[in-house]
């Protein structure tokens, strides 16, 4: 994987070494303090160029346009909230998505399936082990956001999200978040409403291609702002679980990708 990952900066191939342990501790600290961490330059420039070149034809032939209106919870209603509560404001999310079964042994699939990558993530997240997903569609997704498209405000279902930015747009497409806007015991609906109606200023983060981002988004509201210009924002999303053999239901696959297989 030396041709893909900058192992001089990020020695994922040396688990247990002093340099590996220092990287783990740095990432854990960032995750605790900020709810996320970034590893800029994680992927080498030539590997990024190769990855984008591999995936662009797949987008042309096999992408699914995923467009939906939703509130921040991705639910039609929330117990205890009136339907007109400002925490339930709806927005539109739209992108083109390609699934792992269309990518062959591309750069992003090679990275996803490389065991030291999952070992690194497990160590940072303080998990005994993380497993690749068995779902042939959902295990790795790559999303492209064109002019005007965005990933709107939401909370994640999973504990953490692993992404790799492959291509930045001309402008827009920035990552915004409000850390710990809610908790497992306090939904903070008024705080959510303040964010959605512009009374809270979220943190804005600009990422460079090749940056690995690990994000704890279950209780942190976040979005990607609308893309501007002719250059798409392209990002890979990797799914790992604490148990093996995880798959989506056919209904979930159809909802996310427009097909069951």
What is the per-residue pLDDT across 16-73, written as a single tens digit (0 to 9) for each? Answer: 999 999 999 999 999 999 999 999 999 999 999 999 999 999 999 999 999 999 999 9
Beta bridge partners of 199: none
Give domain status of residue 57, yes or no: yes
Residue 208 included in any domain: yes
Residue 10 lies in a domain: no
The model's pLDDT over 157-187, given as tens digits with 9 standing for 90+, comes to 888 999 999 999 999 999 999 999 999 999 9
Structural domain span for residue 194: 18-257
Q: How far apart are CA 226 and CA 70, in angstroms?
A: 16
The CATH number of the domain holding residue 47 is 2.60.120.620
pLDDT for the residue 157: 87
The count of structural domains within the chain is 1
Residue 29 domain flag: yes
Q: Residue 3: inside a domain, yes or no?
A: no
In a domain, 11, yes or no: no
Per-residue pLDDT, 226: 97
pTM of the model: 0.95
To the nearest whole percent, how much of the chain has pLDDT over 90? 97
What residues does 161 pair with on adjacent strands? 215
Residue 59 has a pLDDT of 97
Provide the greatest CA pair distance for the chain.
Answer: 55
Residue 13 covered by a domain: no
Once rounded to an integer, what is the mean pLDDT over residues 111-126? 98
Residue 78 is assigned to a structural domain of this protein: yes
Q: Give residue 29's pLDDT.
A: 97
Residue 40: how many other CB atoms lie within 10 Å:
15
> Nearest CA to 211 among 30, 47, 42?
42
């Amino acid at each position: 994987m030396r041709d893909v990952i900058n192992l001089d900066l990020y020695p994922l191939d040396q688990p247990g070494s002093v340099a590996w342990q220092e990287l783990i501790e740095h990432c854990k600290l960032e995750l605790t303090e900020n709810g996320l961490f970034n590893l800029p330059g994680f992927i080498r420039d030539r590997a990024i160029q190769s990855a984008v070149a591999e995936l662009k034809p797949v987008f042309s032939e096999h992408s699914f346009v995923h467009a939906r209106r939703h509130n921040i919870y991705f639910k039609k209603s929330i117990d205890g909230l009136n339907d007109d509560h400002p925490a339930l404001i709806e927005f539109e999310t739209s992108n083109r998505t390609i699934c792992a079964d269309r990518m062959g042994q591309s750069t992003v699939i090679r990275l996803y399936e490389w065991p030291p990558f999952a070992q690194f993530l497990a160590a940072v997240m303080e998990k005994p082990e993380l497993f690749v997903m068995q779902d042939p569609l959902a295990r790795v997704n790559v999303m492209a956001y064109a002019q005007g498209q965005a990933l709107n405000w939401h909370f994640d279902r999973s504990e953490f999200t692993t992404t790799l930015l492959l291509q930045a747009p001309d402008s827009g497409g920035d990552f915004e978040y409000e850390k710990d806007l809610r908790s497992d015991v306090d939904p903070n609906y008024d705080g959510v409403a303040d964010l959605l109606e512009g009374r809270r200023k979220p943190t804005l983060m600009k990422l460079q291609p090749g940056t690995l981002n690990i994000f704890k988004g279950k209780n942190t509201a976040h979005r990607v702002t609308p893309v501007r210009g002719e250059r798409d924002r392209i990002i890979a999303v990797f799914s790992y679980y604490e148990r093996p053999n995880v798959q989506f239901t056919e209904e979930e696959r159809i909802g996310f990708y427009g097909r069951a297989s």
